[in-house]
Amino acid sequence: MSSNLKHFFVLFLIFVLSFNAIAQTFTSSNLPLVVITTNGQTIKDDPKVIVDMGIIWNGPGKRNALSDPKNNYNGKVGIEWRGSSSQGFPKKSYGFETRSADGLDIDVSLLDLPKENDWILYAPYTDKTMIRDVLTYTLDASLGHWSPRCRFVELFLNGSYEGVYVLMEKIKRNKNRVDIAKLTTTDNAGEALTGGYIVKIDKTTGGGGEGWSSNYSNIVGRTFYQYDYPKSKEITTVQKSYIQTYIRLMENALYQEVFNFPGNYHEYLNDSSFIDFMIINELAKNVDGYRLSSYLYKGKNDRINCGPIWDFNLTYGNADYYNGWSTSGFQYQAYLGADYWQNPFWWNKLMQDPAYVNKLKKRWTTLRKKELSEQRIAFVIDSLTNVISEAQVRNYQRWPILGVKVWPNYYVGSSYVSEINWMKNWITSRLAFLDQQWPYDFTGYENQFVSQSTSIFPNPFNDRLTVQLAPTVNGEGIAEIFSSGGMLIRKQNIDIQNGQIQLDFSGNNSLSPGIFILRINHNNRVLLAEKVVKRP
């Protein structure tokens, strides 16, 4: 018998013995229990099969046993495998829809999450901390974005214990997830046509669909944009043309490096959302960031926003390719060889704009004081590991892969604690690198095009708007209002007192409802250029 075959046999024996042990000794858990019975059917990639699912959850701080009632959900679901390369792992991830007895989708609240019918049971496998995704979504949410809300659970499938899973929200358009306008097949003209849209940059496997390719090359190919909402079967020809044209105009402005307002790329994209997306992906050094599992969305009368974020299991050093293990270097400019899935060209173009870079540095430096401080990140990690500290033992009895390399692990720890500690140390080093690369001197860039705004309120507004700049700004200035298309429609002299500006858009100075760009000029410098929304 070869050494490789012996190794396989030993692992298989451990797996069988561990599974039998856990099946016999499980009594209860601090985590909710998800119980699925397929009634003889086989779950596969496609199509979904109708099965029975129950969730046992007796509330925070209470134990949950298999003998308890299925009190959080007890009904039908349509379920299938989900993912692309992850479908090759023995621990499968699932997508499911909650269904009525007659097979119709029904919106339900699972584990106190907002009502919906589309859900995911994510199986942490190659990520042996089992928290990388949840950690990243938690950090991103603190930046003010919707990120998938998650709940750790333990899964039983046909009586078999399957380990720790994450019940999470799927990226989807609705008021509780990606909150943009609903687009119907009759919305083919005027304001209705402008939103909302969700576009996905990803492989076409694992649920990918129809789309179009960029006009600009990414070394070996062209970025492929997929219709995520409306789906390719539902989006109309006019709507396809509209969103394609809009993103092509965004690409044109960036490719031609049109950075100065008006007429620049700000007409087409909200740079604040792109900055936060970049910060999260670079903090995690996501080897798939930008090029895969990336989303863009556009609301009605709005510009393109980047996000929501998705899929962070190969982050924080958990990849042995494209320098994913290294705490230095930037992933947006990583050398990806002949890989067909390259980063969109426009990330490098954005980083050639001094105003974008300054705003990025300012945002990073501000977030490092609180939301992304080392102390807060460590607190989130400790909180998550504490939640699954008991269940992770059972999980690794079921899946004995600690100390075993699972593609594409760079670090292989012999214990759960060593996996967590290695990731913590990696994050500390990564933060130090980004602090060095993205420093922001709050007094050193006064002559640059960089927003000094601390707040604009209320926004959206009715007739009056208050802008609070740095308190040291005083004197005469100019306020300009541009349409979202870059046309100057209002210009007025202003008096800035202690950094505060009062703007009145009532009477003869009124504005029609819509989205505008407010620009504040002072001493021949642009102090602010931000989006404001006039209420109907």
The residue ranges of the chain whose pLDDT is under 50 are 1-24, 444-453
- Does residue 149 sit within a domain? yes
String of DSSP letters for 156-203: EETTEEEEEEEEEEPP-BSTTSB------TT--SGGGGG--EEEEES-
- Does residue 160 sit within a domain? yes
- Does residue 192 sit within a domain? no
> Which of 147, 171, 195 marks a domain boundary?
171
Peptide bond into 471 cis (omega under 30): no
| Residue 500, domain CATH | 2.60.40.1930
* Tally of CA atoms within 13 A in the half-sphere of 36 that contains its CB: 25
Q: Is the dihedral of CA 334, 338, 344, 348 positive or negative?
A: positive
Q: Which residues contact 156 (CB under 8 A, 6 or more apart)?
A: 33, 34, 35, 36, 66, 162
pLDDT of 428-468, one tens digit each? 999 999 999 999 877 543 333 334 445 787 888 888 888 88
pLDDT of residue 484: 67
Q: Which two tokens stand for residue 490?
A: 């209002």
CA-wise closest residue to 346 among 290, 276, 267, 286 = 290
- Does residue 229 sit within a domain? no
pLDDT of 230-260, one tens digit each? 999 999 999 999 999 999 999 999 999 999 8
Grouping H, G, I as helix, E, B as strand and the rest as coil, residue 136 is helix
Q: Which amino acid is at 91?
A: K
- Does residue 143 sit within a domain? yes
Structural domain of 116: 3-129+138-171
- Does residue 19 sit within a domain? yes
Q: Which amino acid is at 524?
A: N
Max Cα separation, the chain? 90
> Which of 171, 194, 225 marks a domain boundary?
171
- Does residue 485 sit within a domain? yes
Number of domains in the chain: 2
- Angstrom distance (rounded) from CA 162 to CA 155: 5
Grouping H, G, I as helix, E, B as strand and the rest as coil, residue 137 is helix
> Which of 171, 194, 221 marks a domain boundary?
171
- Does residue 287 sit within a domain? no
pLDDT of residue 443: 59
Q: Which residues contact 275 (CB under 8 A, 6 or more apart)?
A: 356, 359, 360, 363
Which residues, listed in sequence order, are joined to residue 461 by a DSSP beta bridge?
A: 534
Per-position b or e across 252-283, b if 16+ CB within 10 A of its CB: ebbeeebbebbebbbbbbbbbbbbbbbbbbbb
